Chains A and B, each alone.
Chain A
């Protein structure tokens, strides 16, 4: 009995003394912080993706609290909803920013872009890119090793096992741009997210001359310029044998999609089109195929 009392007592005393020391030290070295930082941080998604340009969510919260105005501050993942909440917490005015989404501008699946050699080495796009043009004839297109996948902290991007191309889940993607920075070939672009996730874009970044590009890949942009002529909104520019659609100017009329001779321009998330005005079979098939994905 005595032993039990002594052990309980001594343990209790040790515990009390340790607690006291901890308390004193915690008080002594307490760091004064604006409590609002914690509050703001709680509303953030906590993915620490760095898409806001800050070193993680905590850092973003600190800058939000410090900043005089929230203009230009955007958590791309949380979007306007989260920014509105932050504005309420801080008593500042929220600034609407348009939603953005990552777009993979390569459609060179194994079917469209046959392999010309076999790559054996570390499965890392940056390594392949610095070694050579890749296992297909296209020196610009996707290498399919998934550097973009490994940097996405939200799991919004994944490699399709059939096409070996990355696919973005537009419901999850916040447009932070981490994948775009990770891609050694600059294939992924962060573009304006249209209503219901709709978008029209050139799914190719090949700067080779038309013939060369086409030889490597069926669905390459050959820089013919038909799309630019068709566009009424000046949204399309042709440079370096390559067409580019400015997402800020594009009104999504999809005229360019129909005239593209190779099917390099994709229209995604539109409802299926009734096949009435058939131009070339390719030009209508292509977007439909993507719609289904």
Chain B
């Protein structure tokens, strides 16, 4: 007979592993990926493949030759970083820029902090912001979508967010919200289809991989804040304006997949809601009054930095603390 194992309790485990969580998120991103291939063609596939390959490769090289530690590329975190980074890029971006972004995301965003679990900022987001600041030209010329990517290279045009920022009331009132829902507008290729992202959100909630707190609080805050600043043009306009704020740009992708990154978001339900609300407020402020048309990346980035503070002060509801006897 074998030697018996002795260990402290519990002797059972839920069976959910880190890799399963990560692959779960990847599965949730499949609908958005398919939509992006439909609208942006082979380029979307190429950018994603390059980004994933570069992230995994850089993580492997850094762990093997620089840190000389255990290899963790199979846990899916590098793949996920690659996909998320790619989804935040225009589909016509030169591939070498993607590789530079991947190097920054993995090398600076993740490994320089000590690898998985120790990074303060979401690596994919760090990579995207790095590219946005370094290559503003390439990062902000988005091709217009067309089925199966036909003629993608030719036409580029203003995004919904640019129109929203310029604040031309008539023009905004004429935007078709349906296009934003299915993803038929210019933008980074992973963020365009609201419906596909929401399907992913439902999957994540169903598999118990993330909780509702962060995405819902971000979306609600953006909606309410947008309503408040646009209500002077009438309720109907305010509704369209606020809906567009939610369904366009990277808001859903960011709220569902980037802000909920385990490592860089708060631990307690209260903390998550506070984090989400602040991200929502900062996003709208940057979108409407800042220099960039899109503010979500910066908002999440700023709140990533505030997460340790939130974790310190937002404690969970302790047992026996609230309910009074009698």
A–B contact at 8 Å CB threshold (below): yes
Residues of A within 8 A of B (CB): 115-122, 127, 131-132, 135
Closest to A119 in B: B6
Q: How far is the CA of A135 from the CA of B4 in the complex (A)?
A: 10
B6 proximity list for chain A (CB < 8 A): 117-121, 131-132, 135
- At the interface, yes or no: B8 with Cβ under 8 Å from chain A? yes
Q: Report whether A119 and B3 are in contact in the complex, using a CB–CB cutoff of 8 Å.
A: no
Q: CB-CB contacts of B1-22 with A at 8 A, as 1s and 0s? A: 0011111100000000000000
Q: How far is the CA of A118 from the CA of B6 in the complex (A)?
A: 6
Q: How far is the CA of A132 from the CA of B8 in the complex (A)?
A: 9
Q: How far is the CA of A117 from the CA of B7 in the complex (A)?
A: 10
Residues of B within 8 A of A (CB): 3-8
Q: A117-B6, A119-B6 are in contact. List 12 more A-B contacts (CB 8 A).
A: A116-B3, A117-B3, A119-B5, A119-B7, A120-B6, A120-B7, A121-B7, A121-B8, A122-B8, A131-B6, A131-B8, A132-B6
By Cβ-Cβ distance, the 6 closest A-B pairs, closest first, are A121-B7, A120-B7, A118-B5, A121-B8, A117-B4, A117-B3
Q: How far is the CA of A116 from the CA of B8 in the complex (A)?
A: 17
Q: How far is the CA of A131 from the CA of B3 in the complex (A)?
A: 18
B8 proximity list for chain A (CB < 8 A): 121-122, 127, 131
A137 nearest CB across to chain B (Å): 12
Q: How far is the CA of A120 from the CA of B7 in the complex (A)?
A: 5
A117 proximity list for chain B (CB < 8 A): 3-6
Q: Report whether B5 and A120 are in contact in the complex, using a CB–CB cutoff of 8 Å.
A: yes
B5 proximity list for chain A (CB < 8 A): 117-120
Q: How far is the CA of A120 from the CA of B3 in the complex (A)?
A: 12
Q: How far is the CA of A248 from the CA of B6 in the complex (A)?
A: 41
Q: How far is the CA of A122 from the CA of B4 in the complex (A)?
A: 17
Q: How far is the CA of A122 from the CA of B3 in the complex (A)?
A: 19
Closest to A133 in B: B6
Q: List 25 A-B contacts (CB under 8 A).
A: A115-B3, A116-B3, A117-B3, A117-B4, A117-B5, A117-B6, A118-B3, A118-B4, A118-B5, A118-B6, A119-B5, A119-B6, A119-B7, A120-B5, A120-B6, A120-B7, A121-B6, A121-B7, A121-B8, A122-B8, A127-B8, A131-B6, A131-B8, A132-B6, A135-B6
A269 nearest CB across to chain B (Å): 35
Most chain A C-beta atoms within 10 Å of own C-beta, residue among B3, B4, B5, B6: B6
A131 proximity list for chain B (CB < 8 A): 6, 8
B7 proximity list for chain A (CB < 8 A): 119-121
B28 nearest CB across to chain A (Å): 33
Q: How far is the CA of A116 from the CA of B6 in the complex (A)?
A: 10
Q: How far is the CA of A33 from the CA of B7 in the complex (A)?
A: 53
A132 proximity list for chain B (CB < 8 A): 6
A116 proximity list for chain B (CB < 8 A): 3
A95 nearest CB across to chain B (Å): 47
Most chain B C-beta atoms within 10 Å of own C-beta, residue among A118, A127, A132: A118
A122 proximity list for chain B (CB < 8 A): 8
A104 nearest CB across to chain B (Å): 24
A141 nearest CB across to chain B (Å): 16
B12 nearest CB across to chain A (Å): 14
Most chain A C-beta atoms within 10 Å of own C-beta, residue among B3, B4, B5, B8: B8
B3 proximity list for chain A (CB < 8 A): 115-118
Closest to A116 in B: B3
Q: How far is the CA of A118 from the CA of B5 in the complex (A)?
A: 5
Q: How far is the CA of A117 from the CA of B6 in the complex (A)?
A: 7
Closest to A127 in B: B8
Q: How far is the CA of A122 from the CA of B5 in the complex (A)?
A: 13
B177 nearest CB across to chain A (Å): 50
Q: How far is the CA of A79 from the CA of B4 in the complex (A)?
A: 48
B4 proximity list for chain A (CB < 8 A): 117-118
Q: How far is the CA of A122 from the CA of B8 in the complex (A)?
A: 9
Q: How far is the CA of A132 from the CA of B9 in the complex (A)?
A: 12
Q: How far is the CA of A117 from the CA of B3 in the complex (A)?
A: 5
